[in-house]
């Protein structure tokens, strides 16, 4: 049997603990997230773990594909320390400002250039954008099938078995490769970073590709190649603000309990 | 009103019933279609769909495009995506709205990629501008980002609970258009087994009282206080993203843009900073109390009453007061 080629699409996102520092410039409508530490989008870590475990069980190789600003390189390095064998970094100003459509188009072009892996893993949603669109869209650009929101996975006899979360419950699906899979958190518990692996990972290869390497023109990529455009920002009027309850914990607890009781007695609840 | 060049809504059938969000979108779709003076059509895919088609007409659809086949009973991308693409290419809708359900999001994303159209997620309001372009409002950064999507149709997803279900009128007339479907001879994917399972959200979407916790709860031990308070109030438990990431609570309990939309009458937010990504999922509580030890937390701008204090000092006496036999 041919060895299994597995790809993982990774997104580098601002650390969710510091999202309050992400702001918008109402004039230019640009989003400012400079200076905020970046992490691998958490569900993408589960995707990576699923890919590495599959490789450990069945052989093959895992390649990471990541599109992002120069700061994403650190996240790619981390992915290599977590078990990926090599990585492609799509780094070019032309990729900037991409929506899900332009992102999927670029990632699909990179995956095609890699000779279409048999299995492609993505997180079911990325943090921050959290549209969940990129995975299914990559599959369309590649002309392959996909399973979204997978919570359990098994690979045997050249077929993939995936339990997916649906609107009515869940479904156990079977699919022939090539397939793209987007994973949910329940699928596994990602391993922690080990220093010895991090040192070994420094020798692993990161290929940096620009838009020219993908054979895509600038109007198919980034902001220009995006399907949606933000053209206005409407700030909400400043909220009125809460009345702050004062006193010791006991007093305050009593006051809250009374407010809830009074509210319930009003017959509304 | 014609199905061509109109406004479309994806009507999703699960286990023989329409998902509420499909009807919610018909209500908003009707308003927008009237504004544009175009027809409103529902796209209905599944099996044994006749009664559902009539329900869609009663809720405002002028046309229902029906693809009825036993193989279509459950959502399956391999079958649904090319079918919807075919319908779009044949009838050329101007606008296409989807509920942000598992199936709806997947179908919308994949279809958009196939036809090269833009797709805006997390919309909470729509407007039609003077050029008859759909303005799509998405909450972010303490306001609304206004998007437009390029390509035909203009596509958007909307979370369940954003719009309300219109009053059905079974006297309304509409047209049912059958769409041919034949399953592929050798599909690459199949469903081996299907299990119905109610989500573990604990009735969050219907709850009148919700106690929600955020990062400020601090640890799994403190999270028990949230659970106990909810129990004392006979309330549902909700959360922001960090407690889910920390594993204190299931993902199904997450409230906000990437979680659930809730409409409680009483909302008690504990250790929640009040990021808009969370607050945009909480629709107009009548009584909103926030407890957070950070006096600068954004949540205090939005709550009716605020307590600036460590939750471990406030919650134990509060739980006692609200428990049966407590001083309440």
Task: Give me the interface pTM, i.e. the ipTM.
Answer: 0.92
CB pairs under 8 A between A and B: 261
Find the CATH number of the domain harbouring A90. 3.40.50.620
Residue in A with minimal Cα distance to B310: A249
Which helix (H) or strand (E) segment holds residue B186: the answer is: none
Say if residues A131 and B121 touch (Cβ distance below 8 Å): yes
Contacts A169 to B, Cβ<8 Å: 194-198
Number of domains in chain A: 1
- pLDDT recorded at residue B200: 52
Residue B288 neighbours by CB under 8 Å, 6+ apart:
A242, B266, B267, B269, B302, B303, B304, B305
Do residue A252 and residue B309 have CB atoms under 8 angstroms apart? yes
Q: A264 lies in a domain?
A: no
Do residue B14 and residue A259 have CB atoms under 8 angstroms apart? no
Q: Which positions 142-171 of A are in contact with B (Cβ < 8 Å)?
A: 145-149, 161, 165-171
Q: Which of A25-29, A47-51, A119-123, A174-178 has the lowest average pLDDT?
A: A25-29
Whether the pLDDT of residue A115 is over 90: the answer is yes
Mean pLDDT, 10 residues at a time, chain B of 328 residues: 91 95 97 97 97 98 98 96 97 97 97 97 94 93 89 94 94 97 94 79 81 95 95 93 90 88 93 89 91 93 94 94 72
Q: A248 lies in a domain?
A: no
Do residue B301 and residue A241 have CB atoms under 8 angstroms apart? yes
- What residue ranges define each of the domains in chain B, with the CATH number in brackets? 7-178 (3.40.50.620), 204-322 (3.40.50.1220)
Return the residue in B113, B133, B282, B316 with the most chain A beta carbons within 10 A, the one to mutate for interface testing: B113
Q: A198 lies in a domain?
A: yes
Q: A236 lies in a domain?
A: no
Do residue A226 and residue B77 have CB atoms under 8 angstroms apart? no
Contacts A148 to B, Cβ<8 Å: 77, 102, 105-106
Do residue B105 and residue A263 have CB atoms under 8 angstroms apart? no
Say if residues A38 and A15 touch (Cβ distance below 8 Å): yes
- pLDDT recorded at residue B327: 54
- pLDDT recorded at residue B198: 65
Taking 3-state DSSP, the helix, strand and coil percentages for chain A, each rounded to the nearest 5, stand at: 35, 30, 35
- pLDDT recorded at residue B328: 44
Residue in B with minimal Cα distance to A132: B105
Angle separating helix axes B311-322 and B220-233, nearest 10 degrees: 30
Q: Is residue A265 less than 8 Å (CB to CB) from chain B?
A: no
Whether the pLDDT of residue A140 is over 70: the answer is yes
- pLDDT recorded at residue B326: 63
* CB nearest A269 (choices: B74, B149, B209): B209
Residue ranges of the alpha helices (H) in chain A?
Answer: 42-58, 73-81, 100-113, 134-142, 195-201, 211-214, 249-265
Do residue A257 and residue B118 have CB atoms under 8 angstroms apart? no
Whether the pLDDT of residue A29 is over 90: the answer is no
Do residue B306 and residue A233 have CB atoms under 8 angstroms apart? no
Q: Is residue A70 less than 8 Å (CB to CB) from chain B?
A: no
Q: A182 lies in a domain?
A: yes
Distance from CA of B171 to the nearest CA of A (A): 30
Do residue B189 and residue A238 have CB atoms under 8 angstroms apart? no
Q: Over the stretch A218-233, which tens digit does the pLDDT of each residue have? A: 999 999 999 999 989 9
* CB nearest A235 (choices: B143, B304, B321): B143
Question: Structural domain of residue A116, as residue ranges?
Answer: 5-220
Q: A121 lies in a domain?
A: yes
């Amino acid at each position: 049997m041919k060895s299994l080629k597995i790809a993982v699409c990774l997104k580098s996102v601002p650390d969710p603990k510091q999202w309050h520092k992400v702001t918008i410039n109402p004039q230019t409508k640009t989003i400012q997230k400079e200076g905020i530490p970046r992490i691998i989008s958490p569900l993408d870590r589960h995707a990576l773990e699923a890919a590495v475990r599959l490789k450990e069980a069945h052989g093959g190789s895992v390649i990471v594909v990541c599109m992002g600003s120069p700061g994403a390189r650190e996240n790619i390095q981390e992915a290599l320390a977590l078990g990926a064998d090599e990585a492609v970094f799509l780094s070019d100003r032309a990729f900037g400002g991409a929506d899900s459509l332009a992102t999927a188009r670029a990632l699909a072009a990179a995956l095609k250039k890699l000779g279409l892996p048999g299995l492609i893993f993505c997180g079911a949603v990325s943090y921050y954008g959290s549209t969940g669109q990129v995975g299914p869209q990559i599959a369309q650009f590649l002309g392959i099938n996909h399973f979204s929101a997978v919570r359990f996975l098994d690979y045997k006899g050249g077929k993939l078995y995936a339990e997916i979360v649906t609107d009515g419950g869940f479904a156990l699906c079977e699919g022939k490769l090539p397939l793209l899979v987007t994973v949910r958190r329940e699928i596994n518990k990602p391993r922690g970073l080990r220093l010895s692996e991090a040192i070994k990972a420094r020798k692993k290869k990161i290929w940096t590709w620009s838009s020219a390497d993908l054979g895509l023109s600038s109007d198919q990529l980034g902001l220009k190649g995006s399907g949606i455009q933000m053209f206005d920002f409407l700030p909400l009027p400043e909220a009125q603000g809460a009345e702050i309850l004062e006193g010791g914990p006991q007093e305050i607890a009593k006051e809250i309990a009374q407010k809830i009781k009074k509210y319930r007695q009003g017959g509304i609840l | 009103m014609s199905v061509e060049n109109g406004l479309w809504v994806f009507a999703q059938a699960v286990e023989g019933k329409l998902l509420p969000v499909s009807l919610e979108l018909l209500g908003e779709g009707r308003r927008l279609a009237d504004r544009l003076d175009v027809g409103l059509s529902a796209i209905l895919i599944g099996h044994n769909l006749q009664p559902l088609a009539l329900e869609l007409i009663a809720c405002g659809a002028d046309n229902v495009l029906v693809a009825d086949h036993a193989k279509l009973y459950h959502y399956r991308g391999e079958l649904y995506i090319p079918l919807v693409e075919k319908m779009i290419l044949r009838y050329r809708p101007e606008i296409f709205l989807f509920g942000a359900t598992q199936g709806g999001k997947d179908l919308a994303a994949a279809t958009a990629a196939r036809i090269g159209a833009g797709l805006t997620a997390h919309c909470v309001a729509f407007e039609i501008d003077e050029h008859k372009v759909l303005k799509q409002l998405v909450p972010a950064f303490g306001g609304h980002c206004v998007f437009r999507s390029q390509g035909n149709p203009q596509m958007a997803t909307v979370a369940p609970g954003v719009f309300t279900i219109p009053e059905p009128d079974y006297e309304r007339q509409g047209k049912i258009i059958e769409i041919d479907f034949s399953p592929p001879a050798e599909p690459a994917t199949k469903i081996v087994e299907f299990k119905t399972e109610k989500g573990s959200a604990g009735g969050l979407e219907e709850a009148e009282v919700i106690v929600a916790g955020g990062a400020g709860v601090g640890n799994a031990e403190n999270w028990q206080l949230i659970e106990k308070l909810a129990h004392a109030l006979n309330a549902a438990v909700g959360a922001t993203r960090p407690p889910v990431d920390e594993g204190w609570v299931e993902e199904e309990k997450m409230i906000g843009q990437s979680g659930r939309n809730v409409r409680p009458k009483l909302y008690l937010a504990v250790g929640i900073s009040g990021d808009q990504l969370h607050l945009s999922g909480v629709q107009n509580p009548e009584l909103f109390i926030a407890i957070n030890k950070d006096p600068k937390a954004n949540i205090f701008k939005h709550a009716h009453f605020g307590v600036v204090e460590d939750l471990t000092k406030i919650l134990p006496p509060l739980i006692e007061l609200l428990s049966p036999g407590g001083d309440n």
